[in-house]
Amino acid sequence: MFGFYRVASAVNKTTVANPQKNAEEILTLVKEAADKEVSVVVFPELTLTGYTASDLFLNQTLLASQNESIQYILNNIKELDTIVILGIALLEADRLYNCAAVLQGGEILGIIPKSYLPNNKEFYEKRQFVSGRDIVRTATELLGKEVPFGVDLLFTDGRDMTFGVEICEDLWAVTPPSNHMASNGANLLFNLSASNELIGKHEYREELVRTQSARCMAAYVYSSAGVGESTTDTVYGGHAIISEYGATLAQNERFSLESSLITADIDLERMRWLRINESSYSDGRRKKTRLIKLKSLPMMSELQRDITPAPFVPSRYADKKLRCDEIIHIQAHGLIKRMTHAHIIKALIGISGGLDSTLALLSTHRAFEMMGWDSRNIIAVTMPGFGTTSRTKSNAVKLCEALGVTLKEVDITDISLQEFKAIGHDTEELSVTYENVQARARTSILMNMANQEGGLVIGTGDLSEIALGWSTYNGDHMSMYALNSGIPKTLIKYVIEYYKSNKAIADIIDDILDTPISPELLPHSDDKIVQETEEIVGPYELHDFFLYHFIKYGAKPDKIRFLAMRAFDIKYDEETITKWLKIFLQRFFNQQFKRSCMPDGPKVGTISLSPRADWKMPSDADVDVWLRMLE
Ligand SMILES: Nc1ncnc2c1ncn2[C@@H]1O[C@H](COP(=O)(O)OP(=O)(O)OC[C@H]2O[C@@H]([n+]3cccc(C(=O)O)c3)[C@H](O)[C@@H]2O)[C@@H](O)[C@H]1O
Ligand SMILES: Nc1ncnc2c1ncn2[C@@H]1O[C@H](COP(=O)(O)OP(=O)(O)OP(=O)(O)O)[C@@H](O)[C@H]1O
Ligand SMILES: NC(=O)CC[C@H](N)C(=O)O
């Protein structure tokens, strides 16, 4: 389903040194996983014997019993598609290896030995096992059959999933084997562990799993031994973790007295496309691997993963002050460098009482504060036209007064009427010409005033408008420094909201946030806004969602629609989402020419559309292939 797979981490209740009893518990969990449409389920290290069997591993009876239990499990999973990864002790060439066995449909597909054996303090694995670090391109015999054996094994379904397996300490080593597995194409990594609990260790463990998933641009599924393991010297809490690209998707409650199983729906298609976008991934050294083909996997009937409707906005758990301060600092530092370099001490901003010019003014003001510059050198220009309402104008004026910046007013009605006359435009015809004449008049005034004042014009257009080309070419599209160009509309609102911590402007900001988004280019009716942007181009929350998935993961339109339906639930139906997604794609393609010559401006989040840095695209590319996916 659009590159999603359900994976599970199981922690079985263990009976040390009793493989047959453990096999029964394992089978119960495997059946639960299969019922939940899980593709792969991973169990803890040395699952069948228990990790803490110690010198009993050196006794023939335990090993024989373990192998019988493997056969028993194979017999019982013949009809299942779910892949099962178990920890086993393997006798090979008269040495004992601590291994992971990958089982599917009654067969062992491969066995991977542990590379790094912990051998200090509470761990003494080298007493029983040897490292399999150098085992490559070989096979072993188990239960009368030849099975691929080595650290070079990867498993693929031939579609979006390729996985590799490592064992506990492997992840804690300086160079975990999963690094190489990921470099060779594994986008899903499993770890079978036995990690005892010590004060604070679980936090470090989770961090390790999470950061390894980020470093490897993969999903990482971890299962550690738990209840029933020997407590002779240590206690095992049974930690299960599923992370994907730096985020933990699921984690269990440790210290459970029963078996547990957690699942998560991971997006492996996303991992593949992220990697294509990272040159350091492509530069990773490749080693020789053996790719084992999996049989068909269970199909997921429904996605069980939360998709955020506001991917650009920090989650409610994030520290708002930290996030906003970071954004404002990036903006302010961009502007400070530009102004000091150009020996310019004044900044000009067309101030409309809308969201974008409000943020541009606030962040410019913050930059001036940081530098101890006189805020009167910020020249805010209000330029009322045919559509300007008293609400927006008065908010603009009040904000400038509260911030102590210089406020100037230049009415653009006469200039616009003169331009209409000069080009022979009928003033009753409220066309795009009518709108753009005003937008261009404002830019022309700002730039001419900048020459007069020796100042720099601050651009206000945001990332969402830049994506949609919702600006007038060579009008508000142009400036000397596009301060908001890296911030999408949904994030602009979030940052402006934060500025309310300044009590002197809190009420004004509330009203600005409450005003419908509008270019105010068409004549108002009874001082009311007649032109609501989101009714014309569509809701910005949808466009920001589309933009994020389109750029960051190169997602196909049908997947973006699927994700949007999941994220927005009943707020928008499929027809509405499809309609605005088509508009997004059409505008994104046919408005590239505006981006190709956009002014400099700071990148703020992971997505920018600067033609010099992040996004290079022909201005005459055809959008049909993308639109067809929505038919
Ligand atoms: N691929 C291409 N390469 C080069 N040029 C291309 C082109 N496609 C069209 N063009 C040319 O570009 C021109 C069209 O672009 P342009 O003149 O900008 O005009 P256009 O994009 O048609 O109109 C601007 C729109 O932005 C809205 N707006 C303006 C200002 C502020 C806001 C706001 O809410 O913030 C919104 C305004 O309401 C209007 O609907 C045409 O003359 C066309 O020939
Ligand atoms: N009445 C006005 N006075 C001064 N500048 C204006 C006026 N109207 C528009 N502008 C300038 O043109 C830019 C684009 O206009 P627009 O109205 O779309 O933006 P906004 O009001 O700042 O924000 P939003 O697009 O979120 O409503 C503004 O940010 C502002 O710099
Ligand atoms: N079984 C192991 O390899 C355990 C070692 C590892 N450092 C841990 O405590 O998680």
ipTM value for the complex: 0.91
Domain boundary among 535, 561, 591: 535
Q: What pLDDT digit, counting tens, does each position of 546-593 carry?
A: 999 999 999 999 999 999 999 999 999 999 999 999 999 999 999 999
Q: Listing from the earlier edge strand, what are the strands of the sheet with 95-104?
A: 138-142, 145-149, 107-113, 95-104, 83-92, 40-42, 4-11, 260-267
State what percent of residues in the chain have pLDDT above 70: 100
Same-domain pairing of 115 and 13 = yes
Domain hosting residue 37, numbered range: 4-293
Ligand lying closest to the C-alpha of residue 194: 3
Ligand 2, from 361, 413, 460: best to mutate by most atoms within 8 Å of Cβ? Answer: 460
- Whether the CB of 355 sits within 6 Å of ligand 2: yes
Centre of ligand 2 from the C-alpha of residue 356, in Å = 7
Residue 497 domain flag: yes
**Token pair listed for 253:** 């409650």
Ligand 1 atom at minimal distance to the Cα of residue 439: 30
CA angle 181, 182, 184 (to 5 degrees): 65
593-603: pLDDT as tens digits: 999 999 999 99
Does position 521 have pLDDT exceeding 90, yes or no? no
Is 350 annotated as contributing to ligand binding?
yes
Beta carbons of 213 and 245 less than 8 angstroms apart: yes
| Torsions phi, psi for 412 (to 5 deg) | -100, 5
Give the angle subtended at the CA of 101 by the CAs of 89 and 245, to the nearest 5°: 120
Distance 362 CA to ligand 3 centre (A): 51
What is the chain's Cα-based Rg? 31
Contact between 227 and 211 under an 8 Å Cβ cutoff? The reply is no
Please report whether residue 302 resides in a domain.
Answer: no
- Residue holding tokens 């047959």? 20
476 lines ligand 2 (CB under 6 A): yes
Q: Residue whose CA is closest, atom 30 of ligand 2?
A: 350
Is the predicted pLDDT of residue 283 greater than 90, yes or no?
Answer: no
Return all residues near 325 (Cβ < 8 A) that are at least 6 apart: none
| DSSP SS3 for 75 | helix
CA dihedral 314, 315, 319, 320 (to 10 degrees): 50
Rounded to the nearest whole angstrom, what is the distance from the C-alpha of residue 257 to the centroid of ligand 3? 21
Question: So which residues are the catalytic ones?
Answer: 45, 114, 168
Mean pLDDT computed over 226-230: 95
Atom of ligand 1 nearest to the CA of 356: 35
Instruction: With respect to residue 483, please indicate whether it lies within any of the assigned structural domains.
Output: yes
Mean pLDDT in the chain? 96
Q: Mutual orientation of helices 390-403 and 506-514 as an angle, nearest 10°? A: 150
Residues 34 and 165 reside in one and the same domain: yes
The pair phi, psi for residue 178, each rounded to 5°, is -65, -25
Measured between alpha carbons, how far is 25 from 11 in angstroms, rounded to an integer?
10
Query: Any idea what the CATH number is for the domain that residue 155 is in?
Result: 3.60.110.10
**Last residue of one domain, picked from the residues 277, 293, 309:** 293
Please give the structure tokens belonging to residue 227: 């209840």
Evaluate whether 570 touches 309 at the Cβ level (below 8 Å). Answer: no
Q: Do residues 5 and 268 make contact, with C-beta atoms less than 8 angstroms apart?
A: yes
Ligand 3 lining (C-beta closer than 6 Å): 45, 118, 123, 168-169, 172, 193-196
Ligand with an atom nearest the CA of residue 350: 2
Q: Do residue 12 and residue 160 come from a single domain?
A: yes
Pocket of ligand 1, beta carbon within 6 A = 432, 435-436, 439, 465, 469-473, 475-476, 519, 521, 533, 590, 593, 619-620
Residue 525 has pLDDT above 80, yes or no: no
Q: Which residue's alpha carbon is nearest to atom 20 within ligand 2?
A: 354
Do residues 229 and 344 share a domain?
no
Domain annotation covers residue 619: no
pLDDT band at 319 (very low <50, low <70, confident <90, very high): confident
Q: Average of pLDDT values for 56-63?
A: 97
Report the b/e string of 464-479 with b at 16+ CB within 10 A. Answer: bbbbbbbbbeebbbbb
Residue 316 has pLDDT above 90, yes or no: no
DSSP state of 352: -
Residue 465 labelled as part of a binding site? yes
Other Cβ atoms less than 10 A from the Cβ of 424: the count is: 6
The enclosing domain of 366 has a CATH number of: 3.40.50.620
